[in-house]
């Protein structure tokens, strides 16, 4: 079924039709309970997930899939990350309100909205022009006017807006991107899925201390679409 979706699924979302009713709110509560049962504890993350209408990031016909704890195909053969993964990465970032956060891989915009609801100042880069423009439009319609989106290559980061308190990469990284590391504030954290060589990634949290020394922690295996160079 998912293969059929990947090949034939044409994303058509009428942004004017987005509603958030009791049923959807109820499904979100259940999703949050599921995330708690899977070990997510960060209250700010759970509250953000309770707020963001994930069904608005998928086609209306797939609404019932929105609150399952699963990744789902979106445009340009990309995916909206699994809610557990969004919650896990968001928790690892230890966000405080007002921090500047750079996301690599805007995709559907769902993760960006979760960070925004946690009080972050969000900057997010996407390398697919079509996906970037469509998501920028979606965020506007949903009222997420404070999220800054950029069409470009995330490997280069956003030197104009650096440094960032936190950096989050939501695509499988072949190596630690040096440009991004240099745009991280001393004392900052960067979370990324690092390629291990078998199509599986290890979740890594990088800490840059005030002397610019780097330490890494390892948080187990995850699966992401690849982080690719250049723009399309």
Q: Which residues are catalytic?
A: 81
Collapsing DSSP states into helix, strand and coil, what is residue 45? helix
Q: CB atoms < 10 A from the CB of 176, how many?
A: 15
Mask 64-83, x = binds ligand SAH (CB under 6 A)? Answer: --------------xxxx--
- Please choose, from the candidates 170, 161, 232, 163, the residue with its C-alpha nearest in 3D space to the C-alpha of residue 201: 170
Query: What is residue 25's three-state secondary structure?
Result: helix
The answer to whether 31 contacts ligand SAH (rule: CB under 6 A) is no
Contact range with ligand SAH by CB under 6 A, out of 18-26, 35-43, 107-115, 208-216? 107-115
The tokens for 163 are 């440094």
Rounded to whole angstroms, the Cα distance separating 202 from 218 reads: 7
Q: Does 201 bind ligand SAH (CB under 6 A)?
A: no
Residue nearest to ligand SAH (CB): 107
Integer Cα distance of 81 and 167 in angstroms: 17
**CB of 73 vs ligand SAH, minimal distance in Å:** 10
Selected range binding ligand SAH among 18-26, 41-49, 108-116, 194-202, rule: CB under 6 A: 108-116
109-168 positions binding ligand SAH, by CB under 6 A: 110-111, 125-128, 131, 153-155
Judged by beta carbon, residue 175 or residue 186, the one nearer ligand SAH is 175
Nearest to ligand SAH of 212, 221 (CB atom): 221
**Distance between CA atoms of residues 46 and 90, nearest Å:** 10
Please, which residue, 81 or 91, has the CB nearer to ligand SAH? 81
Tokens of 180: 């991004």
The structure tokens listed for 66 are 């929105």
Q: How far apart are CB 154 and ligand SAH at their closest, in Å?
A: 3
- The minimum distance between CB 77 and ligand SAH, in angstroms, equals 9
Q: Tell me which stretch binds ligand SAH (CB under 6 A): 92-100, 196-204, 210-218, 224-232.
A: 224-232
- The secondary structure of residue 81, as a DSSP letter, is P
Give the integer Cα–Cα distance in Å for 109 and 35: 20
Compute the distance between CA of residue 191 and CA of residue 57 in angstroms, rounded to an integer. 23
Residue count, binding to ligand SAH (CB under 6 A): 23
Q: Closest distance between ligand SAH and the C-beta of residue 40, in Å?
A: 16
Instruction: List alpha helices for the chain, DSSP H.
Output: 2-8, 22-37, 43-51, 83-92, 110-117, 129-142, 178-182
**Using CB under 6 A as the criterion, which residues of the chain lie in contact with ligand SAH when the complex forms?**
78-81, 104-105, 107-108, 110-111, 125-128, 131, 153-155, 170-171, 225, 227-228
């Amino acid at each position: 079924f998912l293969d059929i979706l990947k090949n034939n699924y044409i994303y058509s979302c009428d942004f004017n039709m987005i509603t958030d009713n009791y049923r959807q709110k109820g499904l979100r509560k259940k999703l949050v309970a599921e995330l708690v049962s899977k070990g997510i504890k960060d209250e700010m993350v759970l509250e953000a997930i309770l707020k963001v209408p994930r069904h608005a990031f998928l086609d209306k016909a797939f609404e019932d899939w929105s609150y399952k704890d699963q990744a789902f195909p979106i445009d340009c053969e990309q995916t909206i990350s699994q809610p557990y993964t969004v919650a896990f990465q968001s928790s690892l970032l230890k966000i405080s309100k007002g921090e500047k956060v750079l996301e690599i891989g805007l995709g559907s915009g769902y993760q960006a909205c979760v960070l925004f609801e946690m009080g972050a100042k969000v900057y997010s880069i996407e390398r697919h022009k079509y996906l970037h423009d469509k998501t920028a439009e979606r965020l506007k319609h949903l009222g997420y006017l404070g999220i800054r989106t950029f069409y470009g290559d995330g490997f280069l980061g956003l030197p104009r807006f650096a440094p960032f308190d936190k950096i989050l990469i939501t695509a499988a990284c072949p190596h630690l991107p040096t440009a991004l590391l240099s745009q991280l504030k001393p004392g900052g954290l960067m979370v990324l899925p690092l390629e291990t060589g078998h199509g599986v990634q290890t979740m890594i949290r990088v800490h840059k201390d005030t002397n610019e020394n780097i330490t890494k922690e390892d948080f187990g295996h995850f699966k992401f679409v690849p982080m690719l160079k250049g723009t399309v």
